[in-house]
Chains A and B, each alone.
Chain A
């Protein structure tokens, strides 16, 4: 069965960096797009962008350029989200979510359990 297992919660200080992992199993990793979604406490989800798991080409949503990097290690079927220069407003649950095609569209069929990143001094 398809599973996306994310790394555990993180507590970081402002200005630090964090790397969240999303390990996929139960399917061929390079077949389907991987999306990243952020959800701040008490807020709705925000689409951060996606990465083509076949080519490694990332696409970032307008509000997630500069400090956010999507990457892959296809040898271990894992996608990564790195956030640098963390700010308090980056405090949120971050989800990886698998698409149903190699290119992004609105379908996100499988989701990781979410990783809480807390930024606090």
Chain B
């Protein structure tokens, strides 16, 4: 089955830039989406269609995609950005999958 691979963890100091990668064979043809999930809460969409930001999401969140890798960037990370982040995309058959997840620590 299709897999989206992410690093298990990323750690940055407040104000630094956090970059989370997501690797998947279908990403050259399929959009990447990114969800943030804080402990005990439902996921929240922070990036859609590779690089678009939903209303209400801070500008420090940005996305890009090139080849088989998509990247979520948090510029000037804040303590409040600590969460698990999941990329999300589909395979060639239209089945959607979440990535393996990345725990972001800001300290």
Distance to closest chain B CB from A8 (angstroms): 16
**What's the interface size class on B, roughly?**
20 to 34
Interface size class on chain A is 20 to 34
Which residue on chain A has the smallest CB distance to residue B91?
A62
Residues of A within 8 A of B49 (CB): 106
Per-position binary interface string of chain A over residues 35-56, scored 1 when its CB falls under 8 Å from any chain B CB and 0 otherwise: 0010000001111000000000
Residues from chain B with a CB closer than 8 A to the CB of A104 are: 94, 96
Q: Is B37 interfacial (CB 8 A cutoff)?
A: yes
Within 8 Å of chain A (Cβ to Cβ): is B24? no
Contact between A45 and B95 (Cβ–Cβ < 8 Å)? no
Contact between B95 and A62, CB atoms less than 8 A apart:
yes
Q: Which residues of A contact B26 (CB under 8 A)?
A: none
Binds B, one of A18-26, A66-74, A75-83, A107-115: A107-115
Pairwise interchain contact A109-B54, C-beta atoms closer than 8 A:
yes
Which residues of B are found within 8 Å of A109, using beta-carbon distances? 45, 54
Which one of A61, A106, A112, A114 lies within 8 Å of B88 (CB-CB)? A106
Does A95 sit within 8 A of B, measured CB to CB? yes
For window 55-97 of chain B, which residues contact chain A by CB distance below 8 Å? 84, 86, 88-90, 94-97
Contact of A106 among B37, B44, B48, B84 (CB under 8 A): B48
Q: Write the chain B residue with the least CB distance to A106.
A: B33
Q: Are B45 and A44 in contact (CB under 8 A)?
A: no
Q: Which residues of B contact A114 (CB under 8 A)?
A: 42
Chain B residues in 8 Å Cβ range of A62:
1, 95
Beyond A44-B100, A44-B101, A106-B96, 14 additional pairs, beta carbon < 8 A: A44-B98, A45-B35, A45-B86, A46-B98, A47-B88, A47-B96, A47-B97, A59-B94, A61-B96, A63-B1, A95-B42, A105-B31, A106-B32, A108-B45
Chain A contacts to B: CB under 8 angstroms: 37, 44-47, 59, 61-63, 95, 97, 104-109, 111-114
